[in-house]
Each structure stands twice: as structure tokens, then as C-alpha cells.
Amino acid sequence: LTAILFLLPTGAVSCWHRVIGGDEVWTHIDGATLELFQCQGDGTGLKRDALHASNPIQVVPANTWQAARSLGDYSLMSCCVGPGFEFCDFEMARQHPTTERPKLPHPELI
């Protein structure tokens, strides 16, 4: 299991990415509501969750595309990946040429 803490300030986004070999648990710690998106690579199954003090945790299954943004001044988050995070299992949509990117909704999050 690996864990990170990060601050997502207003206007910043956690771009569309996926962890191929592990589930990721997002935990809201402080600040504004965080909007978390999940879907498949063809854009189907779009799910939107609002993480905040009364709904602080969301699990993103392995190989699911995900992106997030703060809905206020900032959101302080923790992300845990199990089994532990490895860069060889991490993929960002923007790393693909435009013509080969997965068909993800909310292109502003790429």
C-alpha cells in the first residue's frame, strides 16, 4: 500500500489518468468539495462523486480512468493505492497522441 497527500487548489485538476495494477482510495481531508470522475476508456459508465466532510471516501477500481477538481479554493486529499503504486502501472490520457487518446468526457480534464 502506498499513500500520498496533495493539495488541489482552485483551477488545478488531477488530469484523466488510471492506475492499471491497483485500486485507488481517495480521501477528502480538508477544504472544498472535490469532484471525482470515473469512467471506462470509451467514455461509458461515467460516474461523478462529490467528496467532502460527510462523504469523504471513494474507491476507484484498478484500470478505471479518473480525474478530479476542487469546487472551491482548495481540496486537501489523500490517495492510497493497493497494491502499492508503481509508475509502470500509471497512465495519463494526455500522454497519448490526440488521435489515440481514450474517448473520455470532460476534455478540460485532459
Average pLDDT over residues 19-29: 97
pLDDT band for 67, please (50, 70, 90 cuts): very high
- Total structural domains in the chain? 1
Q: What is the pLDDT of residue 73?
A: 98
pTM of the model: 0.95
Percentage of the chain exceeding pLDDT 70: 100
Percentage of the chain exceeding pLDDT 90: 98
Q: What is the pLDDT of residue 24?
A: 98
Q: Which residue range is the domain that position 82 belongs to?
A: 2-100
Structural domain contains residue 67 = yes
Q: What is the CATH number of the domain that holds 39?
A: 2.60.120.10
Which of helix, strand or coil describes residue 74?
strand
Report residue 95 as a C-alpha cell. Answer: 500522454
Question: How far from each other are the two terminal CA atoms of the chain, in whole angstroms?
Answer: 27
Structural domain contains residue 107 = no
- CA–CA distance, 86 with 20 (Å, rounded to integer): 9
